[in-house]
Amino acid sequence: MPDLNSAVRDEKGEWVPENSPVNSPLFSRPFNLKKILQYYFGAQGFFYPNNLMVALIAIFSWIYFTPALSRAATFQFGWIAEIFARNTILQLVIVGGLHLRLYIFKGQGEKFKYTNKWMEKGNKKFLFGNQVWDNMFWSLTSGTIIWTAYEAVTMWMYANGRLPYIDFAKHPIYFVLLMIAIISLRYIHFYFIHRWSHWKPIYRNSHYLHHKNINIGPWSGLSMHPIEHILYFSGILIHWVIPSHPIHGIFHLMHAGLTPSLGHTGFHDIVVTGDKVWKTDHYFHYLHHKYFTVNFGVEGVPLDKWFGSYHDGSEEAQEKMLKKRQDKKARKKKK
């Protein structure tokens, strides 16, 4: 395999990172507290900077850019439109910013890019014959509308005392622990919803749209069919059951709405300046778009390992995947 910082590509134009995807040491044996703490709380680890940034955006949005709960007591166009506008602007700034940096200005060229291919133009499988416009359309229409709808209903329920509510001042430890737990809860929900989306009837009617993007970019992350958006954002429903604060619900939805752009940059790392890089490291999910039937979740929660859909990009994993496919075809022939 080529070195992480080299520009070596194979004959197909593919670049492979030196290090395979790594699952959380929390689930590895022997138990190593130092590795666990480093994985979760170290620089460019599980929480910092990406998840922490989204949490801060959610808190900032709640304080400055979310209608007061008193306004949400009745459904009205005004306050719902404000939430929709905020969610749209966040996508344009964050997802659009990544796209501008990596794909319009090509700020780091092909460095750390998994493939030397760029976004498609003139391909009729995409709306308007343009992959980026197609991805933006589904993200900013269906994606933002359904994201906002879940948030508006949740806010209305909080405002009318229909949900178990907690206050930070009274329960600060629980409040913070739930903020931390939301990340793993969302990843667990994502794995099972995503794997279910590959069931043929759902795949044919909705998930196929997301998988038109074999070569991915930031706008590909939330580019989904409305049916899939309904399933994908349904993770917010856990806050209809467990005691939460509106900030928890906003963070849950923002994490679902914004982090897919990082998982779909198509780049292993983003060059910040000189040799300094922002590690996005989503080769794990890139392999899902490449092979379709592997890596339904994220490497931080080893559900793929537990349920037999793990692929780390190695030749051994490739052989295992191909054997599974051959065995499946053989079983179908017997029937």
Q: Is the pTM of this model over 0.75?
A: yes
Judge whether 201 and 182 are in contact, CB under 8 Å: no
Q: pLDDT tens digits, the chain, 335 residues: what are they?
A: 334 444 578 888 888 888 777 778 888 888 889 988 888 888 888 898 999 999 999 999 999 999 999 999 999 999 999 999 999 999 999 999 999 999 999 999 999 999 999 999 999 999 999 999 999 999 999 999 999 999 999 999 999 999 999 999 999 999 999 999 999 999 999 999 999 999 999 999 999 999 999 999 999 999 999 999 999 999 999 999 999 999 999 999 999 999 999 999 999 999 988 788 888 878 999 999 999 999 999 887 889 999 999 998 888 888 888 888 888 788 877 76
Question: Which residues, 6+ apart, have CB-to-CB distance to 118 below 8 Å?
Answer: 103, 215
Q: Considering the domain boundaries, does residue 2 fall inside one? A: no
Taking residue 215's Cβ as centre, other Cβ atoms within 10 Å add up to: 18
Q: pLDDT tens across 188-227, in order?
A: 999 999 999 999 999 999 999 999 999 999 999 999 999 9
DSSP letter string, 182-199: HHHHHHHHHHHHHHHHTS
Is 106 in a helix, a strand, or coil? coil
Taking residue 143's Cβ as centre, other Cβ atoms within 10 Å add up to: 29
Q: Considering the domain boundaries, does residue 260 fall inside one? A: yes
Q: What are phi and psi of 298, to 5 degrees?
A: -130, 155
Rounded Cα gap, residues 268 and 278, in angstroms: 9
Alpha-helix residue ranges (DSSP H) falling in 141-282: 144-159, 172-197, 200-205, 226-232, 246-258, 260-263
Q: Considering the domain boundaries, does residue 5 fall inside one? A: no
Q: Considering the domain boundaries, does residue 7 fall inside one? A: no
Q: Which domain holds residue 189?
A: 27-334
Give the number of domains in the chain. Answer: 1
H/E stretch holding 78 reads helix 77-90
Q: Considering the domain boundaries, does residue 1 fall inside one? A: no
Q: Considering the domain boundaries, does residue 15 fall inside one? A: no
Q: Where are the beta strands (DSSP E) in the chain?
A: 269-273, 276-279
Task: Please list the residues that pair with 113 across neighbouring strands.
Answer: 267
Rounded Cα gap, residues 59 and 309, in angstroms: 35
